[in-house]
Amino acid sequence: MKWSFVLILASSLGAAGGPRLFYSKSFPGSVPAYIQITLDKSGVTEYREAPDDDNPLKFTLREAEVNEVYGLADKLDYFRRPVDSGLKVAFMGTKTFRWEQGGEKHEVRFNYSEDLSARALWDWFERMTESAQHRIDLERAAKYDRLGVVKALNLLWSALDRKRLVGVEQYLPVLDRIVKNETYMHTARARAAEIADTIRASLPH
């Protein structure tokens, strides 16, 4: 029993010190003006709109998605070198990439990058951001704005069709609630069912 406890404790400590990727964008005047995302190697993703937000939105990326994101961080030498282009371009927000593992941290900040791997990683985090924001909008509409549900669902469908969403399983609970609740309009329930079926069809078998 004692050794089992030691092994469990060691495993927990190892997970706590495992690799984690951090992304933030600060863009005063935009909505939201700040976002940050953390992604650990297990795929657990946390989205915040304030650094001190202690109730982040959470979802999980698929293994293939996680491997692609971490592969890009590897190509960028885990942010040991600059990625900012240095070009005089329009301000698009201060972005931060950070690698954390145990006590080791490497960080870069940039406005715009010409590095293809940096741009690809930036786009991945933007897709995570869009995914979180669509879920927030849909859940808010489902709870407070029954007439706005169809619009939120149509925007979600458009983003799904354009392949801008990741961790798509996160939408299934709210979609299923809409489908089963007859107080929503038939149009909303039918659209929610269509999106849920599309997501389920995409899941690994």
Distance CA 31, CA 190 (A): 31
Domain-wise residue ranges, the chain: 18-202
Pair 94, 25: CB distance under 8 Å: yes
Distance CA 91, CA 37 (A): 21
Indicate the pTM of the whole model. Answer: 0.89
**Model confidence pLDDT, tens digit, residues 84-105:** 999 999 999 999 999 999 889 9
Pair 181, 146: CB distance under 8 Å: no
- Using the predicted structure, report yes or no on whether residue 6 has a pLDDT greater than 50: no
**Model confidence pLDDT, tens digit, residues 36-82:** 999 999 999 999 999 999 999 999 999 999 999 999 999 999 999 99
Distance CA 198, CA 113 (A): 35
**Model confidence pLDDT, tens digit, residues 106-151:** 999 999 999 999 999 999 999 999 999 999 999 999 999 989 999 9
Pair 62, 204: CB distance under 8 Å: yes
- What residue has token string 């690809």? 120
pLDDT confidence of residue 18: 83
- Using the predicted structure, report yes or no on whether residue 14 has a pLDDT greater than 60: no
Q: Where are the alpha helices (DSSP H) in the chain?
A: 2-16, 63-75, 116-144, 149-161, 172-180, 186-202
Pair 107, 79: CB distance under 8 Å: yes
